[in-house]
A = this chain, B = another copy of it.
Amino acid sequence: MTSIEQLLNFSNPIFKSYVFWTGVLVIKTLGMSLLTASQRFKTKTFANPEDLMSPKLKVKFDDPNVERVRRAHRNDLENILPFFIIGLLYTLTNPSAFLAITLFRVVGIARIVHTLVYAVVVVPQPARALSWFAAYGATIYMAVQVVLTAAF
């Protein structure tokens, strides 16, 4: 299990797990747009004049419910998007299957929990901090392994 033909292959359980969680997290991240839109319509908070559905409305940028979802969405961009590329490169370093699949699951589940406790039902800290850190730590670990593999 060392050639690219064997690594980037759906019969490789590491690659399969990477692809599964990447697909799930793409759907989850894209879902934030619907969550934002639903909050915008619920609170009638629109950022562009052409979006206003009534002449009585004005553009608004400070609704706390809209802004909360937008912060969660930005947090996804900051944390999930780097995982997409580093998870792929980590797969190419031919890691232990058990460790790699565990790391992908940690990132996938932790980021779903992060969204739930941040933007769906607000749960007191440290729920968000812990879920954020679980995915962050796993991603940093993979990135360090990737750098070490490429450096030596």
Which A residues contact B (CB, under 8 angstroms)? 3-5, 8-10, 16-17, 19-20, 22-24, 26-27, 29-30, 32-33, 47-48, 50-51, 68, 71, 73, 77-79, 81-82, 84-86, 88-89, 92, 122-125, 128, 136, 139-140, 143-144, 146-147, 149-151
The CA-CA distance from A19 to B146 in the complex, in Å, is: 7
Residue of B nearest to A71 (CB): B47
Residues of the B chain whose Cβ atoms lie less than 8 Å from the Cβ of A24:
147
In the complex, which of the residues B22, B125, B150 contacts A10, with contact meaning CB atoms closer than 8 Å? B150
Residue of B nearest to A88 (CB): B85
Residue of B nearest to A4 (CB): B8
Which DSSP category, helix, strand, loop or mixed, fits chain A's interface?
helix
The CA-CA distance from A9 to B78 in the complex, in Å, is: 28
The CA-CA distance from A131 to B4 in the complex, in Å, is: 35
